[in-house]
A and B are shown apart, each in its own frame.
Chain A
């Protein structure tokens, strides 16, 4: 279906989605069982929340007035109309712990409330994982401005301590923790993929250069399923003529530490990337189209990025900056398209203008959805939820909002810039026989590169190239 999948080297994204869905189905059997006693799991969860609670969290937990505004902003509530999916409910358990352990009124709450039990955390699991993509749309309407998404993230950390991570995320978390891979995306797999791309597409990927200005990250989706993503990235980097590399000891964007809430694993994954970038003296690290990798690296409050000698940017930001500088020579995209802002790079990341600049550089007729940029509706697949079998109905129902929004634009294609969003869109497209094309920004860009001078001249005459 995808116009960008014209190359025959790798399967189309529709096939990628089907293959990956099969692999995801097997994750449930691989999930680890709890190892600690119930008492220790509960204590661990409570201790994690106590450690994570600063004044910010306390103020947010204190501020909710149950006014109900957030419920209408949440795609899961909107599509299910079930009280339990109201964003405000997602912090109820956190608030109970806060009130008994930290609040200045804790002596009172200890008198009048029952202690929190492990079963309370078990019940909250659906709210903390299945029905919250941490997209932050509820914050946009909350009259108190409560950042529910960050509270949910702390709850996920508590769930890790309580050994209540959903099986799919738990399995991938254990794989990344012990093998350092996601779906088996090892350095060997990376090398194999690079060799395939060189042999079959004739595109060179400079692996493990000693120094490079630009260090590019990849992601598990690229390596084990969608080779077109990495191929497209390489074509663009080579087209730009930048001094770039991929480091086999720090290439994985995906971070199942962040997704599950395990911040020790987050660090274990983030540190080698930072070390590799420093070693190759990179000035720029480009994060692959993997939405949550952006908050995992660029925006992680624990990563002292202000002091690092390089800047980190998302693929869409990098492409946008190149497009704005006129360095990308692009064939026209004679199509009406709309752009879906992934929550992690949009509302919770601020990369709004750059992806649009790329589409404009292609001369695309870009039509915005009724709710766009900061107000964009989440596709329903972020924060690991695309992987969760228990969240299937939530995802499928909430995706109908997205279908409606995209249909209203009258666009032929919707462009996304996040592997999770793309997989979720592909799933929604297939399940609903939706007549839209789903494109990835990086693959769309690569498919429209002008690499010979003759067509460059022709394109510049039509004014499509920058």
Chain B
């Protein structure tokens, strides 16, 4: 079995199983805890549901915080959108998803895929640069840097494989798949779980404040 066979076969499949099982373990383990009831009388008897709008409204910070947050927010958006488009948009990724699920869709032209991958990587560098330049604001932990590296690796190796830079193509591709497998396996046990938590976290706060008639 070559390294590429290993990466394409057992490695990526095992990582996907860990990904799904890990996400379920953490989501179910937390969400099955009891909910504390707020017994106080709501400001508006039917107003609490308005809290759910925080799930969407918190997608962008309020103007009061613009100056302090705009760099981080813009870079984070660029990173998330570019990465998502690369993950589901380029032909080799679609072929992999098709091999697992049978579902397929048209891919992006190669040059757009490369451009998006580069944009994602640059925005990720822009984010780590600010994190390193303003240590007081971020309070970074080892986990923050490990997560950054694990997220950056598939982007770097993917771009290198595509551009035929570095090691032999098959080796670069294997490294790309292995680093993606690492990312999948790592996600449920890291802060990358925010991909799921944000909905619950925002909704909870939105409801708690809406109970008092406050829109957050």
**A residues at B contact (CB < 8 Å):** 53-56, 58-60, 62-69, 71-73, 77, 81-83, 86, 88-89, 102-105, 108, 139-147, 150, 298-306, 308, 311, 347-350, 370-371, 374-375
Contact = CB atoms under 8 A, between A and B. Distances in A.
Interface in B184-216: 189, 191, 193-194, 197-198, 200-206, 208-209, 211-216
A350 B214 CA distance: 5
A102 B138 CA distance: 26
Given A69-B61, A69-B72, A145-B216, A56 B140 contact: no
B65 interface: yes
Contacts of B100: none
A89 B198 contact: no
B69 A69 contact: yes
Interface of B: 25-26, 28-43, 54, 58, 61-62, 64-65, 68-69, 72-73, 76, 131, 134-141, 144, 189, 191, 193-194, 197-198, 200-206, 208-209, 211-216
A231 to B, nearest CB: 30
Contacts of A299: 40, 211-212
10 contacts: A58-B33, A63-B197, A66-B138, A86-B136, A88-B139, A145-B202, A145-B205, A300-B40, A311-B41, A348-B209
Given A145-B54, A347-B214, 20 more contacts: A55-B35, A59-B197, A60-B201, A60-B205, A62-B197, A62-B201, A63-B197, A66-B139, A72-B68, A83-B136, A83-B139, A144-B202, A145-B206, A147-B204, A299-B40, A350-B43, A350-B213, A350-B214, A374-B215, A374-B216
A406 to B, nearest CB: 16
Contacts of B206: 145
Contacts of A64: 191
Contact of A302 (B33, B39, B43): B39
Nearest to B194: A65
Contacts of B33: 53-55, 58, 102
Contacts of A304: 39-40
A147 B205 contact: yes
Contacts of B140: 66
A58 B30 contact: yes
B69 A72 contact: yes
Closest 4 CB pairs of A and B: A104-B29, A350-B213, A72-B68, A145-B202
Nearest to A85: B136
A86 B139 contact: yes
A305 B41 contact: yes
Contacts of A139: 205, 209, 216
A81 B136 CA distance: 7
B214 A60 contact: no
A108 to B, nearest CB: 8
Nearest to A58: B30
A277 B74 CA distance: 53
Q: Which of B69, B137, B191, B193 has the most CB of A within 10 A?
A: B137
Contacts of A53: 33
A303 B39 contact: yes
A140 B141 CA distance: 24
Contacts of B69: 69, 72, 141
B30 to A, nearest CB: 5
A120 B60 CA distance: 35
A55 B76 contact: no
Contacts of A142: 58
A179 to B, nearest CB: 28
A212 to B, nearest CB: 21
Contacts of A347: 209, 214
B204 A68 contact: no
Contacts of A140: 62, 64-65, 216
A145 B204 contact: yes
Contacts of B209: 139, 347-348, 350
A56 B36 contact: yes
A371 B193 CA distance: 33
A86 B131 CA distance: 14
A104 B32 CA distance: 10
B3 to A, nearest CB: 29
A51 B203 CA distance: 23
A98 to B, nearest CB: 10
B58 A374 contact: no
A82 B136 contact: yes
Contacts of B212: 299, 348-350
